[in-house]
Amino acid sequence: MLMLTVLSCLCSSLLLLLLSVSGGKLPEAEVEIEVLHKPFLCRRKSKYGDILLVHHDGYFENGTMFHSSRNEGDKQAMWFTLGIKEAIKGWDKGLQDMCAGEKRKLIVPPALAYGKEGKGKIPPESTLTFIIEVLEIRNGPRSHESFQEMDLNDDWKLSKHEVKEYLKKEFERHGYPPNDTLHENMVADIFAKEDKNKDGVISSREFTYRHDEL
Ligand SMILES: [Ca+2]
Ligand SMILES: [Ca+2]
């Protein structure tokens, strides 16, 4: 129970690090992307692991709107992490290489949206259209910057020791006492999922890229 509470209280970076999805078969489905607006100046482009601030409108195939972040709820744009299935797969595929200020139309087949089951007001097998505007792009916890912060000896690999030190720091930052047994278990869990080639270290590539999961 305590462990659950502790885990659920740790925010973004740690949870994202723990988040790992076993790779299934790649769906054949593709997202249709239409760029509606591209700003003249583009300082950086979105990539996996970035967090994006987005406004989004969703439509059914018949043109009926089923959601609009501008008109519904708190009318706030939302933060979204690219590439970790935080939203639907269609977003992870369709929102790469975007500039802040860019607006795209995505046509997402059911396999990359809510599939055979549907969800809430989305009926099964729905192809969905989204108009998405990216307002801001920031480094997410999967960024090179985060990696460098964890990589204490700058060898571009994360050892178990480095990950453990990071966990300790994160625990302290969130007001929890260090817990050696818990940290050991978490490190073991992280390495089981993230050290893909089982060489005992998490390389920057293992840390940053998650392509095969999409
Ligand atoms: Ca290192
Ligand atoms: Ca490795």
Tens digit of each residue's pLDDT (9 = 90 or more) over 127-155: 999 999 999 998 776 677 778 889 999 99
Give 62 Cα–ligand 2 centroid separation in angstroms.
Answer: 47
Q: Nearest CA to 107 among 124, 89, 95, 90?
A: 90
- To which residue do tokens 């209280």 refer? 9
Q: Nearest CA to 54 among 139, 136, 165, 119?
A: 136
Q: Nearest CA to 200 among 154, 144, 165, 161?
A: 161
Q: Where are the beta strands (DSSP E) in the chain?
A: 32-37, 51-59, 65-68, 78-81, 103-108, 128-138, 157-158, 202-203
Span 160-169, average pLDDT: 92
168 CB-near residues (< 8 Å, 6+ apart): 178, 183
Higher-pLDDT residue of 122 and 28 is 122
Q: Say which ligand is closest to the CA of 157.
A: 1
Q: What is the pTM of this model?
A: 0.61
Span 183-202, average pLDDT: 92
- The region, left, alpha or beta by phi > 0 then psi within -120 to 50, assigned to residue 212 is alpha
Tens digit of each residue's pLDDT (9 = 90 or more) over 97-117: 999 999 999 999 999 999 999
Give 133 Cα–ligand 1 centroid separation in angstroms.
Answer: 37
Tens digit of each residue's pLDDT (9 = 90 or more) over 88-97: 999 999 999 9
With 60 as the cut, is the pLDDT of residue 6 above it? no
Average pLDDT over all residues of the chain: 84
Q: Say which ligand is closest to the CA of 163.
A: 1
Q: Nearest CA to 47 among 166, 177, 142, 119?
A: 142
pLDDT for the residue numbered 135: 96
